[in-house]
C-alpha cells in the first residue's frame, strides 16, 4: 500500500473515531442495545453454532451482553486474541469473567490456556471497525488483524461489522487486501452487501 493511501486511511480513521467519541456514553449504550437486538434477530445469528465476536474496547459498540446472549443460546463463543505478527487467535470462551484477561492494548482477550478453534469451524464472525461505507467496505484500526484472519475462514461464513451510523461515510479508502463485509449493522438498520 502506498504512503498516500496509508495517510488517507489514517486521516479518515481519525475522523470516524472522533465522530464515534462524540456520541457520549449514554447514547452509545442506547444505540448498542438496538444494534444487539438487530443482530440477535438475524437468521445468520440464529442458525450459527459457532459465533466469533469481539469484546468492545473504548467507544466501540458494546458487545458484552451479545457475548452473554451467545453463551445463553448454547452456541460456541469464540473471541479473538492478538498474537505477534498481526495474527488473531480464535479462542473458545465459556465464562466471560474467568476466561478473560487484559491483553494487547488493554483489550479484554481470552486467556491463552483455552482452546484455539479451527477458523473453518466458525459459522459467523462479528467485527468492529473505525469506519464503514454502504458498499461493504470496512476501515479497521490499521493492524490488518481481521483482514488476514478472514482469509482463513470458509468463504461462505458471513462477516458482519458492527458500528454506529455516525461512522458510515460515503467511501472508505481500500487496499487490495481489504475484505468486504457481508453486512453492516448500525442503530439505523441492517445493510446487506451479499448481492
For the chain, the straight-line distance linking the first and the last C-alpha, in angstroms and rounded, comes to 27
d(Cα 38, Cα 46) in Å, to the nearest integer?
Answer: 12
- Asked whether the beta carbons of 144 and 82 are under 8 A apart, the reply is no
Please give the annotated binding residues for substrate, written as ranges: 55, 60
Nearest to 145 by CA among 92, 84, 93, 101: 84
Residues of the binding site for ATP: 9-13, 138-146
Known binding-site residue numbers: 9-13, 55, 60, 138-146
Question: Rounded to whole angstroms, how far apart are CA atoms 41 and 55?
Answer: 20
CA atoms within 13 Å, Cβ hemisphere of 189: 5
Cell of 56: 468492545
Amino acid at each position: 500500500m502506498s504512503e498516500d493511501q496509508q495517510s488517507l486511511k489514517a486521516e479518515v480513521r481519525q475522523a470516524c473515531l472522533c465522530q464515534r467519541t462524540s456520541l457520549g456514553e449514554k447514547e452509545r449504550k442506547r444505540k448498542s442495545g438496538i444494534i444487539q437486538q438487530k443482530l440477535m434477530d438475524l437468521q445468520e445469528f440464529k442458525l450459527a453454532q459457532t459465533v466469533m465476536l469481539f469484546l468492545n474496547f473504548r467507544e466501540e459498540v458494546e458487545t458484552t451482553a451479545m457475548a452473554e446472549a451467545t453463551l445463553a443460546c448454547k452456541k460456541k463463543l469464540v473471541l479473538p486474541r492478538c498474537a505477534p505478527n498481526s495474527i488473531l487467535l480464535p479462542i473458545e470462551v465459556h465464562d466471560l469473567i474467568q476466561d478473560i484477561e487484559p491483553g494487547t492494548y488493554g483489550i479484554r482477550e481470552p486467556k491463552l490456556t483455552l482452546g484455539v478453534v479451527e477458523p473453518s469451524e466458525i459459522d459467523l464472525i462479528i467485527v468492529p471497525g473505525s469506519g464503514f461505507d454502504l458498499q461493504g467496505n470496512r476501515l479497521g484500526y490499521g493492524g490488518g488483524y481481521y483482514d488476514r484472519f478472514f482469509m482463513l475462514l470458509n468463504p461462505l461464513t458471513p462477516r458482519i461489522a458492527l458500528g454506529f451510523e455516525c461512522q458510515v461515510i460515503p467511501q472508505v479508502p481500500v487496499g487490495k487486501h481489504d475484505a468486504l463485509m457481508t453486512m453492516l449493522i448500525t442503530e439505523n438498520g441492517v445493510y446487506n452487501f451479499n448481492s
